[in-house]
Amino acid sequence: MQNTLKSTVVFKGNGLHSGRPSCMVVYPASAEHGIWFRRTDIGLGDAMIPAMWDAAEHTNLCTRLANTSGVSVSTVEHAMAALAGCGIHNALIEINGPEVPILDGSSAPFVRAFVKCGLRRLAAPVRALQVVKPVTVQKGEASATLHPADGLKIDFTIDFSDPAIGVQSMSLDLANGAFARELCDSRTFCRISDIKVMRTQGLALGGTLENAVVIDGDAILSPGGLRHKNEAVRHKMLDVLGDLTLAGGPLLGHYIGHKAGHTLTNRLLWALFETPGAVRMITCSPEMAARLPGAGLVPDEVPQAAWSRLDLDALKAFCPEKAVINPRGSGQSEPRD
Ligand SMILES: [Zn+2]
């Protein structure tokens, strides 16, 4: 069945690019509502922004959504990934500024808060978007492909000249709570030299060593180093889940990305929806729903970094039946670095 939150959840912090403080309140919503943003600082006109693929504006640094009146909200991908990774299908997200707070640069604070709040099951079945025909988009050396699959799988490869990152590949079946366990605590990353360039363009104004992994050649400048040896590719996969969630519901498909970014993943969704017969909406059977991201979240397997401030009892009360209905054996990561 579709889920929403049991109650409201509040996030406060600065935007990564704008540097502006904002307050974001995530409200429960009814079945079939989907995910919508609402800008509470917009007094006149249309302040509602749909979390949909055709509302995304092309930017390589983050995913920005805009409505037809041009009202936008930026850097939605980490919150969107957390909603999908916790199996939350319906929510209204009010925000009093143009950018989602960056928090620690990962999805972990969102996941932690959603899990602590708990979910409410709604009286409507989950409808998923099933990839029927493969679609591919390419730009230079970068490519992104979706193949048919019975769950959501993500394969991703990055290739950076910086020794601190280098070539990293990872393959993950998002079933069985894999997002929370394997991806949610991986932070966004950038070069120290890029920060200087971005700041001359008015970007990354809210970036710090605490909300991004900052590298310089073979050095990790952020205190505490990496949370995972291959944190960079894990974060790219986190971004992919957030960007694919703009399909408007859970996607059943196998995504293969090579050096892809937000723009290419969004172009892939355009290709999916504009290719006749490439995707269809289905009502999930209980077996299908049990393979979706968010189903089968196993509290004890979640990385400590993501849950250090969480009451473990509250975590264990999080939809415990989901952990039972899922057979184990999938959703395991296969890091190849
Ligand atoms: Zn990101």
Report the CATH number at residue 66.
3.30.1700.10
For 80-89, the pLDDT digits (tens) are 999 999 999 9
* Average pLDDT in the chain: 86
> Comparing C-alpha atoms, which of 124, 112, 133, 165 is closest to residue 29?
124
pLDDT at 118: 87
Q: 74 CA distance to ligand 1 centroid (A)?
A: 12
Structural domain includes residue 60:
yes
- pLDDT number for residue 92: 97
Q: Which domain holds residue 279?
A: 3-325
Total domain count, the chain: 1
Q: Determine, yes or no, domain membership for 231.
A: yes
The answer to whether 254 and 149 have CB atoms below 8 angstroms apart is yes
pLDDT tens, position by position, 187-242:
999 888 888 888 888 777 787 887 889 888 888 888 888 999 999 999 999 999 99
Of 9-18, 58-67, 285-294, 303-312, minimum mean pLDDT range: 303-312
Distance 324 CA to ligand 1 centre (A): 31
Q: What are the residue ranges of helices labelled H in the chain?
A: 77-85, 108-117, 178, 192-200, 231-244, 262-274, 286-289, 304-307, 312-316, 320-325
Q: How far is ligand 1, taken at its centre, from the CA of residue 230, in Å? A: 15
Which tokens in the block code for residue 103? Answer: 């928090």
Residue numbers annotated as active site: 262
Model confidence at 335, in pLDDT bands (50, 70, 90)? very low
Residues whose CB is less than 8 angstroms from the CB of residue 270 and which lie 6 or more positions away in sequence, other chains included = 53, 54
Q: How far is CA 16 from the centre of its chain?
A: 16
CA distance 222 to 231: 13
State the distance from the centre of ligand 1 to the C-alpha of 46, rounded, in angstroms: 27
pLDDT at position 298 is: 65
Q: C-alpha angle 18/21/23, rounded to 5°?
A: 120
Q: Is 52 inside any structural domain?
A: yes
Mean pLDDT of 137-166: 95
Q: Residue 330 falls within a domain, yes or no?
A: no
In this model, does residue 295 exceed pLDDT 70? yes
Q: Please indicate, yes or no, if residue 334 is contained in any of the structural domains.
A: no
228 lies in a domain? yes
Q: What is the pLDDT of residues 14-23, one digit of tens each?
A: 888 888 888 9
